[in-house]
Amino acid sequence: MRVLGIETSCDETGIAIYDTEHGLLANTLYSQVKLHADYGGVVPELASRDHVRKTLPLIEQALQDANLLATDIDGVAYTAGPGLIGALLVGATIGRSLAFGWQVPAVGVHHMEGHLLAPMLEEKRPDFPFIALLVSGGHTQLVRVDGIGHYELLGESVDDAAGEAFDKTAKLLGLDYPGGPRLAKLATTGNPDRFQFPRPMTDKPGLNFSFSGLKTAAAQAIAKYGNDPSCHADIARAFEDAVVDTLLIKCRRALEQTGLKRLVMAGGVSANVRLREALAQSMQEIGGEVFYPRPEFCTDNGAMIALAGAIRLKAGAQEGLGVRVRPRWPLVELPQL
């Protein structure tokens, strides 16, 4: 089954074609980073308009890359939420319309299920059950995964997501958008011993996260020492270390509570090198395994939507003729397969 995947939940237009027998056939991506850079963050209206301009040309490019015709597509998957409502509507409307015109089934995909399943695009794939750490600009969640749709939310951020805290702290440091990756790069030259920031909510039981206090600690350090540029890298390093340690502690706690030994990490922040190294070492210490997608599949992309859609389409899921998107959509509400 060949499935066209469309991702337009925020500021990246991702188109891919996934074959359930032969794997990923095409994957194209257009990032709106330059479009939003002058504003220091995503402008929803501009994002929606750019998706309108880019989606169809990228679909044509994906078909060409895969050496396929429209008649070779067996189904269409599009991101139906969560995300920016205008951006979601662009991809959903185009995807549902193409499916109707091509007379193939369509399915709306949960953006975070796409991230959760992204490691399945790799040769080394995790078996169920496992713990998933979903870390992105909008979400920080720990989920027990017993199968497709068999999700139990163990913990989540009560305020800022980890990626959001990265971006906001980077902005305080005067770094350009997107700030998270730039902060991580700056942190590589920082002194890890100069500043010590809190590891929020790690001294309390439970698996929820909170990063607003950590962001405040960084803001206070920037206000006090920000006039000295030599301190910026040290602050970035202290902030990154605090986030990594917090995520690591919570992951270990989730594994201990469930007795599981497999951990999946996905979402934009999962591309962070220091976080990957820390989790790999931690899992090795307890005799466990950690799985994550390659960096290009950590951020938003069409490949993960095509894969998740293909799995659900093969199981018989499909949409009616209406177009429905959900800017807020709890992962645990997805039907089980």
Is 302 or 177 the better-scoring residue by pLDDT?
302
115 is in an annotated binding site: yes
The pLDDT, as a whole number, for residue 185 is 97
| pLDDT tens readout for residues 73-101 | 999 999 999 999 999 999 999 999 999 99
Every domain of the chain with CATH number 3.30.420.40 lies at: 2-117+297-333, 127-292
The verdict on domain 127-292 having CATH code 2.160.10.10 is: no
| pLDDT tens readout for residues 238-277 | 999 999 999 999 999 999 999 999 999 999 999 999 999 9
191 is in an annotated binding site: no
51 is in an annotated binding site: no
Domain boundaries 2-117+297-333, CATH class: alpha beta
Confidence of residue 230 (pLDDT cuts 50, 70, 90): confident
Confidence of residue 154 (pLDDT cuts 50, 70, 90): very high
The pLDDT, as a whole number, for residue 57 is 98
300 is in an annotated binding site: yes
31 is in an annotated binding site: no
| pLDDT tens readout for residues 160-209 | 999 999 999 999 999 999 999 999 999 999 999 999 999 999 998 999 99
The pLDDT, as a whole number, for residue 68 is 98
DSSP three-state, residue 71: helix
270 is in an annotated binding site: no
Confidence of residue 302 (pLDDT cuts 50, 70, 90): very high
Confidence of residue 138 (pLDDT cuts 50, 70, 90): confident
- State the chain's mean pLDDT as an integer: 96
Bridge partners (DSSP) of residue 157 are 209
User: What radius of gyration, in Å, describes the C-alpha atoms of the chain?
Assistant: 20
- The string over 275-286, giving b where at least 16 C-beta atoms fall within 10 Å of a residue's C-beta and e elsewhere, is bbebbeebbeee
Closest CA to 113 of 77, 84, 85: 77
- What is the pTM for the complete model shown? 0.96
**DSSP H or E segment with residue 12:** strand 12-19
Residue 215 confidence (pLDDT) above 90:
yes
33 is in an annotated binding site: no
Residue 226 confidence (pLDDT) above 90:
no
The pLDDT, as a whole number, for residue 43 is 97
134 is in an annotated binding site: yes
Residue 137 confidence (pLDDT) above 90:
no
Bridge partners (DSSP) of residue 14 are 7, 29
Give the 3-state secondary structure percentages of the chain, helix then strand then coil, rounded to 5: 45, 20, 35
Closest CA to 139 of 270, 286, 244: 270
111 is in an annotated binding site: yes
